[in-house]
Structure 1
C-alpha cells in the first residue's frame, strides 16, 4: 500500500507541475510498471488501453457531445431560453427563474456544465442586464444553474462514473432525475427571493406569444423525450439513445434551415476534440487503476478502513470533504477517473449503494465547476459579461450553491430520492 501512495504522490506532483492529466496518469503508470517489473510489465499497458477504449458504452460519449454541439452551434439552445423566458417572465424575477429552468432543460441534452454556461449565458445575461437585473444576480443565475447538466441525464460525468465502476448507466440516469428536479426548483425559489424586492417584470404574454414559445421549445423537449424516454422504455441502450439524440439534433437543425456546412464542420471538430480529450484521460485513468491494483493499495486501504470500526458516515463525510477540496483544483472528469479506483472499493465495502453514491458525488462535484481557482463555469460566465468582476460572479452563485448542499444532505437522510 505504501508503494501505491508513492505513485499517487508522483501523479499529483505531475499535475501540479502542469502536465496534462492524461499524460500524468499514463506517465506515472509507465514509471511504476517499469520500476516493479521492467519492460515486460510495461507491455501490459497496451492490453489495458485496448480493453478500455473497446467498451461499446463509450460510444455514447462522442454522440452526446455531438448532439450538444449541434444544438449549441445552430442556436436551438438560444431559442430554448427565449421560450422559457416568455412563459416565466411575467412573474417577479422571471428572467432569472427562466435562466435556471433553461439551464436544467439544456443540461438534459448537453450533459456538461460548461456547455450550458456558454450557451445560456450568452443570451440570458445580456437580456437580464437590459431589464435592470444586477450583474451579481444575472451571472449567478447562469453559473448556479449550469451544473444541473451534471445531474440531470444524460450526464457525461455519470457515464464516466458508470464505465469506471461498472455501474449500469441507465440506473444512474434514472437516479438523477428526482434530485435534479428538486435542485432546479430550489434554485428557482432562491433566485426569486434574490430579486423579490426589485419588482422586475416582463410584459404579460399573450396567446400569440404562448404559441410561439411552444414552437421554440418543442424541438429540445422532443429531443429529451426521445433520448431519455427510449432508455427508460427499454427501447434503446444509452449508446443507442445517444445516437438517436445526435441524429435528432441534425434533423431538427436541418428542418429549421440552420444546418450550414460551416456549422457541421465546427460541430464535428469540437466533438472530436472534446471526445479525444475525455478518452485520453479515461485510458490514462484505467492504466493508473491497473497500477494501483498491482500494488493492492485499494484493497488494503479498504481493509484498513473497515478494521478501524468507525462510523461509515464519518468515512463518507471525509470522502466528500476530500472531493470538495479536489474540486477546487481539478475538473470533474479528472477527479472521477483518478479517485474511483482508490475510493470505490471502500464505498462498496461500507455498503453504500453505488447508484446513490454517484448522485451524491455529482451534487458535490457541482460545486467544483463554480469553485475557485479552477471553477470553469465561473470564467465562462464572466466571459459572457466582461465588465462583471469575478468576485460578483462568485457572490451571485453562492446562494444557489447552498441549494446543492441542501439536496446533498437530503440525499443522505432520504436515499430513496435517488434510488427509489
Structure 2
C-alpha cells in the first residue's frame, strides 16, 4: 500500500470522525481536503487551493442558479401557494377514499415543482395539511407518513437543487437532468396516490363532494404554479432559456406574484431574502468543502483505484450498480441528502462511467436513492422537520408511518434502474 493510500484512508477516518463530532460537513470536508492535499503535495500548494477554490466555486455560472431556485422556493412558501394547492386538490379528490391523503400528495407534487426542496415541502405541508387530516380522524402515523414521503418529491421533480448540484459535480447538463426527473416524478406521485388509496381505509369521506363549478373555481388559485412551472421547466425543455436564466426568471416571477397578491410586503421580502441567503451560504460552504475534498481525492487517485477495484471483481454492470446503490442506502441512514451527493458521487461516478451507464439516468437513480435517506432512521431529515413543526408528534410515530412508502420507493427504484428508457425518453425529445 502506497503513502497516498494511507493518507486517503486516514483522510476518510478523520472526515467521519469530524462529522460524528457534529462538525458541519462542508467544514469537515474542507479541513480534510486541505490537510490531506498538504500531506501529499505540500502546504504551499494546499493553501493555494484554499485561496482559489472558494472564489472559483462562488463565481461559477453553473452554481449561480442555486441561490435563485432557493429564493424561488422561499417566495413560494411565504406567498401561501401551498394552501391554495391543498385547497384545489381537496376540492377535486377530498371526497374520495383517503381524500385528504390524496390531496396532500397532490399538493406536495405541485409545491415541489416550484420549491426544489424536500425540506421546504415537508415543513410547509405539515402546517397546511396535518391539522386538516387530524380533524378528519387520520392517525398521526398515517398523516405524517404521507407528508414526510410526499416531501421527498421536492428533490426529484424539477427544479431540484440536489439535481443541480449533481450536475455541477459530474459536469452534466443541468437542464437535461431536470427534464429527466419529470417522468420518474410522475411515477412517484402515481405510486404514492395508489398507496394512500389502499391504506387509507375508513377515511373515505373526509370532505363533502363539491360541484364541478366549485372545482374549477378552486383551480383559479393555482394558476401561479402552472405559470411558474411552464416558465421554468417548459423554457428549459424548449431550449429557450438556460437553467440559470430559468432560475432567475422563476425567482422574479414568484416574488412578483407574491407582491401582486399582497402577501409579500417589504418586511416579508426582507425576511425571504435573509432566509434564502442563509440557506445558500450553507450550500456554498458544502460545495467549497467538496471541491477541496475532490482535489484531495484526485491527488490520491481514490476514484481511479475504486473503479479498478470494483471492475476487477468482475460482478457485471448491474450487480456492481446494485452494490453501489446498497451502499448509498446504508449511508443514507447516517448522512443527509446533500452530504451523500457531494461526498460519495465523485468516488463512484467514474465506476458508473466505466460500466457504460448513462450519467443522466444515474443522476435520477441516485437522487431517488437519496430520497429514501430523507425518511429512514436515524437521520430522516423530513421526519425531523415534521417533528420540529408539529411538536406533539413522536419521531417513532412518523418513522412507522413512512414504512409503506419506503417499500413503494424501493419498487420504483428497481423499476427505473431496470428500464433506463423510462427516464431517458423525455430528455431525448428536448430541443
For the residue of structure 2 that corresponds to 1:300, the secondary structure is helix
| CA displacement at 1:217 relative to structure 2 | 1.2
Equivalent-residue separation in structure 1 for 2:249 and 2:164 (angstroms): 17
Structure 1 gaps, min length 5: none
Q: Does 1:21 align with 2:45?
A: no
Is 1:373 equivalent to 2:378 in the alignment?
A: yes
Q: SS state of the match for residue 41, structure 2?
A: helix
1:247-290 per-position Cα deviation (integer Å, ceiling 9, x unaligned): 11111111211111111011100100000100110011011001
Distance in 2 (alpha carbons) for counterparts of 1:6 and 1:48: 23
Alignment match of 2:88 (pick from 83, 86, 89): 83
The equivalences for 1:17-416 within 5 A come to: 17-42=21-46, 43-416=48-421
Q: Deviations over 1:128-172 (max 9, x none)?
A: 111111211111110111101111111111000000000111111
1:12 to 13, 16, 19: 16
- Structure 1 Cα separation of the partners of residues 266 and 53 of structure 2: 38
Deviation of residue 409 (structure 1)?
0.2
- Separation in structure 2 between the aligned mates of residue 384 and residue 89 of structure 1, nearest angstrom: 24
Asked if the contact 1:298–1:345 (Cα under 8 Å) also holds between the matched residues in 2, the reply is: yes
Q: Deviations over 1:296-345 (max 9, x none)?
A: 11112212222332222222112111111111111111111111221111
Conservation of the 8 A alpha-carbon contact between 2:99 and 2:203: no
Asked whether the equivalents of residues 223 and 249 of structure 1 are also in contact (C-alpha less than 8 Å), the reply is yes
Q: Distance in 2 between matches of 1:155 and 1:118?
A: 17
Q: Distance in 2 between matches of 1:76 and 1:307?
A: 52
Q: TM-score, normalised by structure 1?
A: 0.97
Instruction: Name the SS for the 1:379 alignment partner.
Output: helix
CA distance in 1, matches of 2:234, 2:335: 33
1:204 Cα deviation from its structure 2 partner: 1.4
Question: Which portions of structure 1, spanning 4 or more consecutive aligned residues, are displaced by more than 6 angstroms?
Answer: none
8 A Cα contact 2:66 2:164, kept in partner: yes
1-side partners of 2:262 and 2:21: how far apart?
A: 47
Q: How far apart, in 2, do the equivalents of 1:314 and 1:383 lie?
A: 39
Shift of residue 94, structure 1, vs aligned partner: 0.9
SS of the residue 1:146 aligns to:
helix
Is the CA contact 2:136–2:203 (under 8 Å) kept in the aligned structure 1? no
- For 1:64 and 1:129, the matched residues in 2 are separated by 32
| Greater Cα shift, 390-399 or 152-161 | 390-399
Contact 2:192 2:405 in 1 (8 A): yes
Cα distance in 2, alignment partners of residues 48 and 62 from structure 1 = 18
Structure 1 contact 114–377 (Cα < 8 Å) conserved: yes
Q: How far apart are the structure 2 equivalents of 1:319 and 1:11? A: 20
| Segment of structure 1 superposing worse, 176-185 or 389-398 | 389-398
Check the 8 A contact 2:387/2:393 in 1, yes or no. Answer: yes
Q: In structure 1, what is the equivalent of residue 428 of structure 2? A: none
Kindly tell me: are residues 32 and 335 of structure 1, through their superposed partners in 2, closer, same or farther at Cα, counting changes over 3 Å? same
Root mean square deviation of aligned Cα? 1.4
Q: Is the 8 A contact 1:136 1:395 kept in 2?
A: yes
When structure 1 is superposed on structure 2, of 31-40 and 106-115 the one drifting more is 31-40
**Which blocks of at least 5 consecutive residues in structure 2 are unaligned?**
426-431
SS in structure 1 at match of 2:379: coil
Query: 1:103 deviation in Å?
Result: 0.6
1:207, distance to aligned residue in structure 2 (A) = 4.3
